[in-house]
Amino acid sequence: MAGNGIPGVPGFWLRVFRHSATLNDMMRPYDEPIIAYLEDIKIEYIANPMGFRLNFHFSNNHYFTNSVLVKEYHIKSVPTPFKHDSEIYKCIGCTIDWLPHQDVTVRLGKQRQRHRSNGNIRVVERLVKNESFFNFFNPPVVPEDPKIEVKDELHVRLATDYEVGQYFRTRIIPHAYLYYIGQAPEQDDNYQDCSSDSSEDTSDSDED
């Protein structure tokens, strides 16, 4: 087995990530050596609660001790006049067991502090959140208590996270080879095809 990637194809999934506009945008240069150890991504459907689980299998590496990183989505069916749509109501990540000094989701930052009595300023170093693909495994947490109102911002973050999960499920996993060779079309879901009439006059000039 190759040291990273999948057997016989080192760096397979890293190349898939690079050829996906969505995943490439989530990935940072310091993520790439870690993703190079990604061997496979498998989907597992669950019935109770309804949803699916994404399993990211990694070969042995010097970044973390996990062999599998898991992301789970719980959805509910929402009836509409024409069909049943799915709606995310919870997602569950996993704890990444980073080896010492290898956690790319945090960085050392500086913060100014003012002394309460004499007003003196000092600068201290502290760990702050860092941009990384691996933040994907630390999703927004929805309160378990139904009496607690979920803020709109949390709904938006949850929906955005679900879009990425669906992207893995419906595009990346079934079409990984096409992404690997750079032949998978990237579709913009914000636009839909509309009918057009080739004979339609789009000229701005007025008729006499």
pLDDT in single tens digits along all 208 residues of the chain: 344 545 558 899 999 999 999 999 999 999 999 999 999 999 999 988 889 999 999 999 999 999 999 999 998 865 555 554 667 778 999 999 999 999 999 988 777 778 788 878 877 777 789 999 999 999 988 766 555 566 677 778 888 999 999 999 999 999 999 999 999 877 644 444 454 444 444 444 444 4
pTM score, whole prediction: 0.76
10 Rama class: left (phi>0) / alpha (psi -120 to 50) / beta: beta
Count of structural domains within the chain:
1
In a domain, 6, yes or no: no
Would residue 43 count as lying in a domain? yes
Burial of residue 71 (number of CB atoms within 10 Å: 0-12, 13-18, 19+)? buried
Q: Is 84 inside any structural domain?
A: yes
Q: Which domain holds residue 142?
A: 12-99+131-180
Count Cβ atoms within 10 A of the Cβ of residue 189 and give its class: 0-12 exposed, 13-18 middle, 19 or more buried: exposed
Indicate which CATH number applies to the domain containing 155.
3.30.1120.90
CB contact at 8 A, 30 and 14: no
Residue 202 structure tokens: 């789009």
